[in-house]
């Protein structure tokens, strides 16, 4: 079932196999325990994809992780929130992980921060939401899918991390919260190079989201997708690779995460479920950092 779902989803999306990606290095800034470097590479449509690369200083690099940023209705925040420059302090995984010896690549998702058409940077624009919507709807008009673009972007990010940080391919994975968690979930399901996956605030069945009118991410607008899979199928497709599922009992985007995990066979999933809401807190942030550190430290 695992290989069948991965193959089906890749074929359904028309997702190309991962390939080496050319990238350009930009400005580098030294900080306490790590270096932050601007990286830029091209997407499959020739579009520039900016990212921050965090690498540890004064110690060897244990492994690496692509961190996909959250949504939170803030299209002007992307990689800079993972960097801790703006937004929620409990999204600043780049510095926290790099100080522990983990290389981190944090790319802007399409229509976020420096990948917005009208403006760049971390100031909001009234039409930010419309650009995000159009990224889905225009592709549907052309018979294409936003999910194909997003997952191709994700594959390229992992390729760039492997190349730019020169990390062991056995010690790389993906992580994200909320929108970033959905990206990590689907990416790990279709790309076996992801040796581990941390999925936070993003495990909830289609059935529950439909019943409670929670909604879906726009990149999940794939005609017939819910007839072909459910959320537990995606988690199953990641196994036996190590997976962390983080959820809050009061989080509508993780309403039935414990029930979804219970449907998955195998013991590859670590579940952290707390009595809290959607936004991360110190407990979950620290647990995610520690879990990723342990994954890249394993021999």
Could you give the percent of the chain with pLDDT greater than 70? Answer: 99
Residue 59 confidence (pLDDT) above 90: no
- For residues 122-138, give the mean pLDDT: 96
Q: H-helix or E-strand containing 281?
A: none
Asked if residue 60 has pLDDT above 90, the reply is: no
pLDDT at 111 over 80: yes
Q: Is the pLDDT of residue 299 over 60?
A: no
CB 265 within 8 A of CB 241: no
- Three-state SS at 138: helix
Distance CA 123, CA 125 (A): 7
The shares of helix, strand and coil residues in the chain, as percent rounded to the nearest 5, are 40, 20, 40
Show Cβ contacts of residue 205 under 8 Å, excluding neighbours closer than 6 positions: 230, 231, 232, 256, 259, 260
- Please compute the mean of the pLDDT values over residues 145-170 and round it to a whole number: 97
Confidence of residue 20 (pLDDT cuts 50, 70, 90): very high
User: Average pLDDT, whole number, for the chain?
Assistant: 96
Q: How crowded is the C-beta side of 248, counted as CA atoms within 13 Å?
A: 17
Reading the block at residue 110, the tokens are: 């399409």
pLDDT digits (tens, 9 = 90+) for 226-237: 999 999 999 999
- Among the residues of the chain, which ranges form H helices? 2-13, 79-82, 93-98, 128-141, 146-164, 179-190, 206-211, 225-228, 231-238, 257-262, 282-297
Q: pLDDT at residue 72 above 90?
A: yes
User: Residue 118 has what pLDDT?
Assistant: 85
CB 284 within 8 Å of CB 200: yes
- In the chain, the domains with their CATH numbers are 2-297 (3.40.50.1820)
Model confidence band, residue 3 (pLDDT cutoffs 50, 70, 90): confident
- Note the pLDDT tens digit of each residue in 36-56: 999 999 999 999 999 999 999
Encode burial over 258-276: b for 16+ CB neighbours within 10 A, e otherwise: eebbeebeeebbeebbbee
Tell me if residue 240 falls in helix, strand or coil. Answer: coil
Residue with tokens 């994954």: 295
- Work out whether the CA dihedral 104, 110, 116, 122 comes out positive or negative: negative
Indicate the pLDDT class of residue 298, thresholds 50, 70 and 90. confident
Q: Which two tokens stand for residue 198?
A: 């941390």
**Contact between residue 244 and residue 198 where contact means Cβ atoms under 8 Å apart:** yes
Q: How confident is the model at residue 1 (pLDDT cuts 50, 70, 90)?
A: very low
Q: Is residue 254 scored above 90 in pLDDT? A: yes
């Amino acid at each position: 079932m695992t290989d069948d779902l991965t193959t089906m989803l890749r074929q359904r999306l028309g997702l190309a196999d991962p390939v080496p990606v050319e990238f350009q290095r930009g400005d580098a800034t030294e900080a306490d325990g790590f270096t932050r470097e601007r990286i830029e590479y091209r997407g499959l449509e020739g579009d520039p994809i900016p990212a921050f690369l965090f690498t540890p200083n004064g110690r060897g690099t244990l492994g690496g992780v692509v961190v996909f940023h959250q949504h939170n209705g803030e299209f002007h925040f992307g990689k800079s929130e993972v960097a801790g420059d703006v937004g929620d302090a409990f999204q600043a995984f780049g510095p926290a992980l790099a100080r522990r010896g983990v290389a981190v690549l944090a790319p802007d998702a399409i229509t976020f921060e420096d990948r917005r058409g009208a403006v760049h940077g971390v100031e909001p624009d009234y039409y930010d939401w419309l650009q995000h919507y159009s990224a889905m709807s225009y592709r549907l008009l052309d018979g294409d899918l936003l999910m194909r673009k997003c997952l191709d972007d994700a594959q390229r990010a992992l390729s760039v991390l492997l190349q730019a940080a020169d990390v062991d391919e056995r010690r790389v994975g993906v992580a994200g919260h909320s929108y970033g968690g959905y990206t990590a979930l689907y990416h790990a399901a279709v790309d076996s190079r992801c040796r581990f996956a941390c999925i936070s605030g993003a495990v909830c069945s289609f059935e529950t989201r439909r019943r409670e009118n929670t909604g879906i991410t726009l990149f999940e607008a794939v005609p017939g997708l819910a007839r072909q899979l459910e959320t537990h199928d995606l988690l199953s497709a990641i196994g036996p690779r190590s997976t962390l599922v983080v959820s809050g009992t009061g989080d509508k985007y993780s309403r039935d995460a414990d029930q979804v995990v219970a449907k998955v066979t195998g013991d590859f999933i670590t579940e952290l479920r707390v009595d809290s809401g959607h936004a991360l807190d110190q407990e979950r942030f620290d647990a995610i950092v520690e879990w990723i550190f342990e994954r890249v430290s394993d021999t």
